[in-house]
Amino acid sequence: MGHIHRSAVDNPMKTHRLLVALAIFVAGCASVPTDRSSKNRGEQAQIERRLKEIFDAAEKKDFDRLDNYHLYGPKFTKFSSESTSRLDAAASRKGEHDGLGAISDLSMHADDLKIDLFGNVGIATFIFRYSFKAGGNSFEKKAQGTMVFAKEGGAWKIAHEHFSTIKAEP
């Protein structure tokens, strides 16, 4: 016959060690994760404030301030309903400057704003509601908006933008 192993139940010292190890394991699994909610709320508030600053700079045609809110460089990208291809930093900057320069009375709002954080990256999704005047006509539009923010030097900057026009309902 083969060798018979004694179980931990037969050895009180092994039983004690097993119970201690199990208790530590269970406690580790059941422990509450570090509360980052207040830090996240602070970071989310910073991104929301930055979004309002971006809208304010656009409405006032303050191009230097608007450019400063972007992380313009080789990694910056933008998708827009006005273009069928991905825009790089130079094309995006030119499009924003030209577009904003051609209109007046711009008003911008982010409805149903949701901000998610992933370390030094924040993703803001919202319904972009905006109105403006051009060529003597008034326009009111809506788009689905996504802005990806990266924290650089303590400041949240736009690394990617994506806007999809919401068609007017008949």
Residue 10 banded pLDDT, cuts 50, 70, 90: low
Q: What is the pLDDT of residues 43-86, one digit of tens each?
A: 999 999 999 999 999 999 999 999 999 999 999 999 998 889 99
Beta-carbon-side half-sphere exposure of residue 54 (alpha carbons within 13 Å): 23
**HEC profile of 96-153:** HHHHHHCCEEEEEEEEEEEEEEECCEEEEEEEEEEEEEECCEEEEEEEEEEEEEEEEC
Residue 12 confidence (pLDDT) = 54
What is the topology classification, in CATH, of domain 38-165? Nuclear Transport Factor 2; Chain: A, (3.10.450)
Asked if residue 90 lies in contact with residue 78, where contact means CB atoms within 8 angstroms, the answer is no
Q: What is the pLDDT of residues 116-130, one digit of tens each?
A: 999 999 999 999 999
Residue 157 in this model has a pLDDT that exceeds 60: yes
So where are the chain's domains?
38-165
pTM for the whole thing? 0.77
